[in-house]
Copies of this chain bind each other. A is one copy, B any other.
Amino acid sequence: MAQTADDRGADDGRSRRHREILEVAAKTICEKGYEGASMQQIALACGLTKAGLYHHVQGKEEILVEIMHYGMDIFEERVLSQVEPIADPLERLRTCMAKNVLLVTRDRHKEISIILHEHATLTGEELARINARKKRYVRFLERSFAEAVAAGQIRPVDPKVAAFAFLGAVNWIYKWFTPDGQLSDEQLAERMQDVFFGGLGPRPNDIQEASS
Residues of A within 8 A of B (CB): 30, 32-36, 114, 117-118, 120-121, 138, 152, 154-155, 157-158, 160-162, 164-165, 167-173, 175-177, 183, 188, 191-192, 194-196, 198-204, 206-207, 209-210
Closest 3 pairs (CB-CB, A-B):
A168-B172, A35-B36, A199-B199
How far is B70's CA from A199's CA once the two chains are assembled, in angstroms? 36
Task: Establish whether residues B35 and A32, one from each chain, have CB atoms under 8 Å apart when the complex forms.
Answer: yes
Chain B residues with Cβ below 8 Å from A30 are 120
Task: Establish whether residues B191 and A161, one from each chain, have CB atoms under 8 Å apart when the complex forms.
Answer: yes
With contacts A35-B33, A155-B198, A202-B206 taken as known, whether A172 is within 8 angstroms of B161 at the C-beta atoms is no
Q: Which residue on B lies nearest to A177, using beta carbons? A: B164
Copies in the complex: 2
With contacts A118-B118, A183-B160 taken as known, whether A165 is within 8 angstroms of B210 at the C-beta atoms is no
Q: Which of A172, A175, A194, A195 has the largest number of chain B CB atoms within 10 A?
A: A195
Q: Which residue on B lies nearest to A152, using beta carbons? A: B210
Chain B residues with Cβ below 8 Å from A175 are 117
Chain B nearest CB from A160 CB (Å) reads: 7
Q: Which residue on B lies nearest to A198, using beta carbons? A: B155
With contacts A165-B169, A168-B173 taken as known, whether A202 is within 8 angstroms of B210 at the C-beta atoms is yes
Chain B residues with Cβ below 8 Å from A152 are 210
